[in-house]
Amino acid sequence: MMKTLAITLGLIVSAPAFANDVVNIYSFRQPFLIQPILDDFTKQTGIQTNVVFAKKGLIERVKREGKHSKADLVLTSNFSALIQLEDLKLTQTIKSDSVNNNVPAAFRDGEGQWVALTKRVRNVYSSKERVGALPNLTYEELADPKYKGQICTRSGKHPYNLGLVASMIAHHGKADTKTWLEGVKANLARKPQGNDRAQVKAVKEGLCNLALGNSYYLGKMLQDKEQKGWAEAVNINFPNQINRGSHINVSGAVITKFAKNPENALKLIEYMTDNKAQNMYASLNMEYPVKPGVQLSSLVASWGSFKEDSLPLDEISKYRPLALKLIDEVKFDL
């Protein structure tokens, strides 16, 4: 079991300090999201877990600590962080037939430097009262002047939106994506702000009619007494079903370059990509399992099946720097 201690710079979840039967984790994912999975891993293997949690700064910390870092594993909440860790050469190769069998090639690095653990869709939420469901909506359509003053979103530079913009570049090229960004900016109801849940709240309050948000947030809001009303006010739409499919982002894991317990880190990744943990991710966190064939939660299943954009994450990652540049050029957040 994990013992928690909140501190200013993050949250440390501690087992007997850095013994041989542990795996030391730096996590962008909040402890309550992963604690049941880690507890079961310990129950199954006897390997204890130490977790350092922070919303930001963990990549810089791993880099700064270098060979003295105690991190064996980094758990990320988005694809951009996986790419940053790889680009900074802070990872080592994940060599596992089990992982390769569990995770489709599109959701793991071709060189084995990272692996996805869960999938989430970049959905568009629409007001039930003022708009209704939009089954044929596309991301491209968000730039249509008919939606002027109707769209809410968080910062364009947030990894969730950055991934979407990178995918647009991959599909349409630099020039068309810049034009699209300018169109979306012109349609914003307010300056980008807040998190994904705040956008759904804004739709409920009538500040906007459409909002970008990740799929699992709707499930979490429906379980929250205060936020349930926000979630019940919107439809969840899966963009681009009429063509390439909806953009997918992922949470994931890397084994760090200077891991002191790489074997235990690999065992944890193997566990997290296999049936039991994938089922727990689905039922507890309302996420889409990365392993094919794992049952969805009943709520997520109720949203229906959908087509995923099949573009590999490796391909999308090439355009992340350009995506950030274009977001700055159009002054999206200003």
Residue 7 has pLDDT above 80, yes or no: no
- The mean pLDDT value for 148-162 works out to 97
- The number of C-alpha atoms within 13 Å of 97 and in the hemisphere containing its C-beta is 0
Residue 8 has pLDDT above 60, yes or no: no
pTM confidence score:
0.89
CA proximity to 152, closest of 162, 142, 163, 144: 142
Strands of the chain, DSSP E: 3-7, 10-14, 22-27, 48-53, 73-76, 91-92, 115-127, 151-152, 210-214, 234-237, 248-256, 288-289
Contact 125, 213 (CB under 8 A): yes
- CB neighbours of 5 closer than 8 A, spacing ≥ 6? 11, 12, 13, 14
pLDDT of residue 204: 98
Q: What CATH number belongs to 3-119+250-302?
A: 3.40.190.10
What are the pLDDT digits (tens) for 215-227? 999 999 999 999 9
Residue 20 — very low, low, confident or very high, per pLDDT cuts 50/70/90? low
CA distances from 77 to 276, 301, 333 (A): 20, 22, 22
DSSP character for 188? B
Residue 176 — very low, low, confident or very high, per pLDDT cuts 50/70/90? very high
Distance CA 240, CA 285 (A): 25
Contact 282, 86 (CB under 8 A): no
Residue numbering of the annotated binding site for Fe cation: 216-217
pLDDT of residue 14: 41
Q: What CATH number belongs to 120-247+308-329?
A: 3.40.190.10
pLDDT of residue 314: 85
Contact 210, 147 (CB under 8 A): yes
- The mean pLDDT value for 32-48 works out to 94
Element housing 220 (H / E):
helix 215-222
pLDDT of residue 4: 38
- The mean pLDDT value for 59-73 works out to 97
Residue numbering of the annotated binding site: 216-217
CA trace torsion 100, 29, 322, 314 (10° rounding): 0
What is the full DSSP assignment across 35-54? HHHHHHHHHHH--EEEEEE-
Convert 285-306 to b/e letters by CB count within 10 Å (16 or more is b): bbbbbbbeebebbeebeebeeb
Residues of the chain with CATH 3.40.190.10: 3-119+250-302, 120-247+308-329
pLDDT of residue 30: 82
| Percent of the chain with pLDDT strictly greater than 70 | 94
If you average pLDDT over every residue of the chain, what do you get? 93
Q: Find where tokens 């900016």 sit.
A: 185
Looking at the chain, how many residues does it have?
334
Residue 270 has pLDDT above 80, yes or no: yes
pLDDT of residue 15: 41
What are the pLDDT digits (tens) for 291-316? 999 999 999 999 999 999 999 888 89
pLDDT of residue 55: 85
Residue 31 — very low, low, confident or very high, per pLDDT cuts 50/70/90? confident
Element housing 59 (H / E):
helix 58-65
- The mean pLDDT value for 185-208 works out to 98
pLDDT of residue 1: 45
Structure-token pair, residue 213: 């948000």
pLDDT of residue 10: 44
